[in-house]
Structure 1
Amino acid sequence: MAVIREISTPDPSLLPALCHLLQDSVDGGASVGFVSPLPPEEAEAFWREILDELGPDLRLWIAEDEGEVVGSVQMARCTKPNGRHRAEVRKLAVLRSARGRGIASGLMVALETAAREMRLRLLYLDTHAGSAAEHLYHHLGWTRAGEIPDYATTPTGELHPTVLFFKVFD
């Protein structure tokens, strides 16, 4: 069973596993901002930047199974004075070999719990229309706000719509 934990300080020892997770996601067709094939140095640069920026406004959770990183998700709080009540969910990813075991749901529950503890009122995200992630967010009680056509290219270079979701906390 996967264990979910927050990474609150930079841990360079996680870089190889996080890079593998990102590359596996891109290779599997996930729309996470990169195209395939994802060069290892690009994956490493991305994760180094994330790890360096960790703090109260950028948080990271990972899921580990028997010492292997099998998933991650990020939450970026808005830093503008009029938006400190909201945060964006970024880059939910689970290794293809670990999917179907509730890891993505577990990561989202951990993130949502932290959002409530931070007294955030609104979370939002976008995801590839028609993806498994779209169905996951619906199942987790997120509200579908709409769809934007031709929003991003898939990892293979085709234009594809994105779906916007949000969740409001009382």
Structure 2
Amino acid sequence: MLKIKQLDTIGLDTHSQLCDLLTVCIEHGASLGFYTPVNSDMLQQYWYSVAQAIATKERKLYALYRGDALVATVQLSLCMKENGRHRADVEKLLVHPNTQRRGYATILMRHMEQSALENGRTLLVLDTQSTDKAELFYQAFGYTKVGQIPFYVSDNQGQLHSTSYYYKYLAHGTACLNVN
């Protein structure tokens, strides 16, 4: 049974599951801002900073569970500037490698987009490493590539890669909550 939760706090058990999910995604080659071998202190600090942003209402964290197991997450970082309250950044879409290709990212993204609309956010932006498999997913999900910056990010071997930037305008009614 799949269940989506918007996490308003990050308790100890959830913190541990989030660290584990991020670790396994990094170890499987995802470009998420961390190197291998994974520094667990850095990951713990990262999730503490996310918890602080959730508490100040600057960020929303959505989690997809299969039973009690956390299988995917995505974040919505809300622009707090007065002239930017219509936009948000999509960050850290994580799907456990053992559960990929089952539609979990799609389910979670639909839910996140619906929540964005409910929070008055109609423009979503994101970035991802160019040529990464995530690019194909975002394109298929209706995000438009607006460009890339060469040599923007390095992989865990120190090789530099381009980063691609995407946006999606959510006209009211374009996001849906259908999780089936």
Q: TM-score range by the shorter chain?
A: over 0.9
C-alpha separation in 2, matches of 1:70 and 1:169: 26
Further displaced range: 156-165 or 47-56: 47-56
Give deviations 1:70-116, integer Å, cap 9, x for gaps: 11110011111111111001110111111111111111111100111
What is the DSSP-based 3-state SS (H/G/I as helix, E as strand, rest coil) of the residue aligned with 1:32? coil
Q: Is the 8 A contact 1:10 1:52 kept in 2?
A: no
Q: Is the 8 A contact 1:70 1:98 kept in 2?
A: yes
TM-score after normalising by structure 1: 0.94
How far is the alpha carbon of 1:125 from its aligned partner?
Answer: 0.2
How far is the alpha carbon of 1:157 from its aligned partner?
Answer: 2.2
What is the DSSP-based 3-state SS (H/G/I as helix, E as strand, rest coil) of the residue aligned with 2:33? coil
RMSD of Structure 2 on Structure 1 (CA): 1.3
What is the DSSP-based 3-state SS (H/G/I as helix, E as strand, rest coil) of the residue aligned with 1:54? helix
Structure with the larger RCO, 1 or 2 (CA within 8 Å, 6+ apart): 1
How far is the alpha carbon of 1:155 from its aligned partner?
Answer: 2.9
1:3 corresponds to = 3
What is the DSSP-based 3-state SS (H/G/I as helix, E as strand, rest coil) of the residue aligned with 2:35? coil
Alignment of 1:23-42 (within 5 A): 23-42=23-42
1:90 corresponds to = 91
Aligned CA distance change for structure 1 residues 105 and 95 (closer, same or farther; 3 Å): same
2:76 corresponds to = 75
Aligned CA distance change for structure 1 residues 13 and 60 (closer, same or farther; 3 Å): same
Give deviations 1:48-81, integer Å, cap 9, x for gaps: 1111221432000011112111111100111111
1:52 corresponds to = 52
Alignment of 1:158-169 (within 5 A): 158-169=159-170
Q: Is the 8 A contact 2:85 2:120 kept in 1?
A: no
**Percent of aligned pairs with the same residue?**
34
Aligned CA distance change for structure 1 residues 37 and 137 (closer, same or farther; 3 Å): same
Q: Is the 8 A contact 2:4 2:62 kept in 1?
A: yes
Count of residues in correspondence between the two structures: 170
Alignment of 1:129-148 (within 5 A): 129-148=130-149
User: Which runs of no fewer than 5 residues in structure 1 stay unpaired?
Assistant: none
C-alpha separation in 1, matches of 2:95 and 2:128: 14
C-alpha separation in 2, matches of 1:105 and 1:50: 22
C-alpha separation in 2, matches of 1:24 and 1:10: 19
- Answering whether residue 51 of structure 2 is matched by residue 43 of structure 1, we say no
- Deviating beyond 6 angstroms after TM superposition, the runs of 4 or more aligned structure 1 residues are none
